[in-house]
Amino acid sequence: MTPAALRTMLADHGASMAKLHPQAGRLERVVAAVGSPCWSQPLPRPYRPMPPKQCFTNAARLVGRYPKLTYVEGFAVRESIGFPMHHAWAVDADRNVIDPTWNAPEDCAYWGVPFDRENWERWSVRPMSWSLFDSGRGMNVELIDTLSRLSAGNLTSCSGLRPPRPTAA
């Protein structure tokens, strides 16, 4: 499967879910609209496999250890599984995937939203523990709302993305 096919799958799934409830499938629709393709490859040296089922923590640790990498959150799919999974990984400057969590990442397609270090830190609820989109206590509606207001194609690494300022009571 190609990243473009994954994007189409996300958009279609999100649209189908929205027929059930307007908020359902919203994350898939937003990532499909403002995300971008990332290029799969085998895990290159010097990177090493990290614990399975901890993709958000693994990607954060990798980006913390290697400052030239960028944190990406979105969806990935392995053709043999057939459905996209919410996932996190890192990319290099050429958008090549550095995925220390999944085995054989070269057999996967990736589509996601890259977050520069500043915005990853600003939007992290619990650093190195949970996804930016899902805090473990529910979806990060403010981030998803912010991304949904951005135009597709105008986002390169969330460099202009800012969380809402707290309002005075």
Structure-token match 């993305």, residue found: 161
Residue 90 domain-assigned (yes or no):
yes
pLDDT per residue as tens digits for the range 113-166? 999 888 887 777 665 557 888 877 777 888 887 887 775 444 444 554 544 444
Residue 30 domain-assigned (yes or no):
yes
- Could you tell me the strand order of the sheet in which 36-38 lies? 36-38, 108-115, 70-78, 85-91, 97-98
Residue 158 domain-assigned (yes or no):
no
Domain that holds residue 94: 3-148
Residue 156 domain-assigned (yes or no):
no
Structure-token match 């979105």, residue found: 74
CA 42 to CA 44: how far, in whole Å? 6
Residue 96 domain-assigned (yes or no):
yes
Classified as helix, coil or strand, 103 is: coil
Whole-prediction pTM value?
0.85
| Mean pLDDT across 83-91 | 95
Residue 10 domain-assigned (yes or no):
yes
pLDDT per residue as tens digits for the range 8-57? 999 998 899 889 987 888 889 999 999 999 999 999 999 999 999 999 99
> Residue 81: what pLDDT?
87
Residue 78 domain-assigned (yes or no):
yes
pLDDT per residue as tens digits for the range 28-42? 999 999 999 999 999
Runs of H (alpha helix) within the chain: 3-18, 26-34, 55-65, 117-123, 141-148
Residue 48 domain-assigned (yes or no):
yes
DSSP β-ladder status, 36-38 and 97-98 = unpaired
Name beta bridge partners: 98.
Answer: 90
Q: How many domains does the chain have?
A: 1
